Amino acid sequence: MRSLERRQVLKTASLAGLGLLLPPELLRAAPSPRDAEDVAGRGRWLVFTAHQAAVVEEATARLIPGPLDDPSERGHPGAREADVTRYIDTMLGALSLSPAKVFAGGPFSNRAGNPSDDMAEFIGLTPGQAYGWKRRIAGWRHQYSVGIASLDRAAGGSFIRATAAERDAVLARNEEGFVSLLFAHAIEGMYSNPEYGGNAGLVGWRDIKFPGDVQPRGYSDAEVSRSDGPDRYEPAGAAAKLLNLIKISNGR
């Protein structure tokens, strides 16, 4: 029996008359709103359903907020702007691509004068590497499946429908260490090479004034001589809260 979408059904009849118009088995075959949402998201993601992607998007946006998530971050992009969710989904589905999207090629991208982006051509894995990454990614995929469901449950059924304050409270619980894993991957997606799916438009690098890969152009003598080493970082605002969350999750 072909499934009918509920929106199509509702266009032709009021809820009060549905039971009279259609047999119960046909109504049961209609997808739930979340099912329909996930079907609509297929093809956009390698691993995530549309709902899972939305939960990861909103959770990482609380961990690394941008201007849409925290007014105090105006002018500073966050996980949402860097497309961290795409990075995580690509990582979890890396072995479904050919070649596997694990090791970017080289030696150069096209960001500093090279005519082509060699890093966009990924290197094939040896059998031993493939076995190791298969086990590693399988573990992560399980953690994400369980962890996302846990966020929904802790938020009363739907993490994405919770308020910002409620989301923060859920994330602070860090059940089974999932938020620590999510935060680590969000940081990677924020500042990694964009060939891996995150750091969209180089927003992460530009925000911290990191030049990224500069070969084959390289640095000038003046740029090297002016370097005063790494800048001292004093966390404040949302960043200070994130570091406190990490300390709590590590039992410090």
Q: pLDDT band at 38, cuts 50/70/90?
A: low
Q: List C-alpha distances in Å: 248 to 60, 175, 241, 251.
A: 18, 12, 10, 5
* Average pLDDT along the chain: 83
Q: pLDDT band at 226, cuts 50/70/90?
A: confident
**Is position 29 within any domain?**
no
149 exposed, middle or buried (CB, 10 Å; 0-12, 13-18, 19+)? middle
**Is position 128 within any domain?**
yes
**Is position 19 within any domain?**
no
Q: How many alpha carbons fall within 13 Å on the CB side of residue 104?
A: 16
**Is position 25 within any domain?**
no
Q: 151-187 burial, b for 16+ CB within 10 Å, e for fewer?
A: bbebbeeebeebeeeebeebbeebeeebbebbbebbb
**Is position 204 within any domain?**
yes
Overall domain count for the chain = 1
**Is position 199 within any domain?**
yes
Nearest to 242 by CA among 168, 155, 151: 168
Average of pLDDT values for 201-206? 97
Domain that holds residue 150: 47-215+234-249
pLDDT digits (tens, 9 = 90+) for 55-103: 999 999 999 999 999 999 999 999 999 999 999 999 999 999 999 999 9
**Is position 241 within any domain?**
yes
- Rounded distance between C-alpha atoms, residue 220 and residue 109, angstroms: 19
